[in-house]
Amino acid sequence: MDESQCGATICITNTVEGNYQRGHIMQKLKLWGFLFLISIILAGCSLGPVVISWQEKAITSQGAITATAAPTLATPTSLAPKPTPAASHSASPTPLPSRLSPEEARIITIYQRVSPAVVNVTSHIIQESFFFGPIPAEGSGSGFLFDNQGHIVTNNHVVANAQSVEVSFSNNIIEPAKVVGVDPESDLAVLKVEKIPPGVQPIPLGDSRHLLVGQTVLAIGNPFGRFGRTLTTGVISSLNRTIEVEGHRLRQAIQTDAAINRGNSGGPLLDSSGRLVGVDSAIFSPSGTSAGIGFAIPVQTVGRVVPKLIAQGYYPHPWFGAIGYDLTPSLAQTLHLPVDHGLLVAQLYHGSPADKAGLRGAQKEVIVGNHRLLIGGDVILAIDGQTIDSWTALEDYLELHKKPGDTITLTILRNGKKRTIKVSLEEKPRT
């Protein structure tokens, strides 16, 4: 997925997605140069000194939510900005001067302890060009050391479609990395390096279940793919957001005003004790840069998904296998149904758990207002005794509380009568 193709709401934040990629720019420059030369020849003009300038741009629509990966530009070396190298970090923290406030000392201590575990992730991609054939391109994001076996957690969109990946630790130590597992639905991926620099320790995991709005958080990452191990601070500005990001849904996302920019994708969000509470993944931004609204995948999701990615390369999501409409009071009244909430089942996937359990889909088609609806199917009123009023809530319940092989009990309305039906969940197809 490409950050430059953000929807009207949310964008991911890695550098591979959402910046101009080197190969794409080189292709455009060659084509522009060729067309420019032809125009000069045809016009019979003499050519004086020509100065071409350009600037890095983030292509997002107004109010776009954008992924936070950073771009790699084909900028001439003489014109490229000279980022300040990240400071070297040793295993022993630097003694702090007494003039610092307790809060400053705490943040600095956390940074010195945790930042060596934060890496810059560079992915190498081959793009096909109609005129020039295969063109190499690069993108970058962030990641962090997860365990002492060399596993590194990042976002799936940072390494999607990469032919090869490498990670850069502090002190300019670069190691090739192998992608061992990805899960596009949670936007998580796990890499593995064979060597961990001396003194670098994994980031301890915290608990995102008891976070509070207003709580201090720290983000460390590589904004724009150039400024390694940059620290920003802020607070949790909201919790339990459900964010739609280009084909996947971030569930129970942590919202923060800590500055998160392109290139921060996959970097850690820490609590005031330096423990991981989230993985930075997306921003809401009209311009493609930090607007004070960033989103992180909660650490509880990391703890649930990452071990599976390490063990088997993918995460087995539970599958129900039916689709339909959210039943609102007005729609229920229009359809003359004796309930005011629930899920109207329209269609079943052939051979799905819902199909095998005997759930019934639509029997006819009607037009309601400007919409064509499939009606006459079962209405799901509750799942495991809990009232349900949206398909999103059903999907979230299954994803967060169930696994393949579990059985759920549905309370349904069929032909005006309530009944229960049991459904044995299966593993969601990965195609």
Which of the residues are catalytic? 157, 187, 265
Asked if 1 and 17 count as a contact pair (C-beta separation under 8 A), the reply is yes
Q: H-helix or E-strand containing 373?
A: strand 371-375
Per-residue tokens: 364: 């006819």
Asked if 143 and 116 count as a contact pair (C-beta separation under 8 A), the reply is no
Residue found by looking up tokens 């081959």 in the block: 126
- For residue 106, give the nearest of 259, 201, 216 by alpha carbon: 216
Q: Give one DSSP letter per residue of 64-82, joined into a string.
A: EEEEEEEE-----TTTS--
Q: Which burial class, exposed, middle or buried, applies to 9 when counting CB atoms under 10 A from its CB (0-12, 13-18, 19+)?
A: middle
Asked if 181 and 312 count as a contact pair (C-beta separation under 8 A), the reply is yes
Asked if 20 and 262 count as a contact pair (C-beta separation under 8 A), the reply is no
Q: How many helices (H) and strands (E) does the chain have?
A: 7, 24
**For residue 302, what is the DSSP state?**
H
| Strand ranges inside 39-117, DSSP E | 64-71
Asked if 318 and 425 count as a contact pair (C-beta separation under 8 A), the reply is yes
**Single-letter amino acid code for the residue at 374:** L
State whether residue 41 is helix, strand or coil.
Answer: helix
Asked if 395 and 248 count as a contact pair (C-beta separation under 8 A), the reply is no
Q: Quote the CA–CA distance of 199 and 405 in Å, as a whole number.
A: 42
Residue found by looking up tokens 């101009």 in the block: 20
Residue found by looking up tokens 């009606």 in the block: 375
Q: Give one DSSP letter per residue of 251-280, joined into a string.
A: EEEEEE-S---TT-TT-EEE-TTS-EEEEE
Classify each residue of 269-295 as buried b or exposed e, where b means 16 or more C-beta atoms within 10 Å of its C-beta. bbbbebbbbbbbbbbbbeebbbbebbb
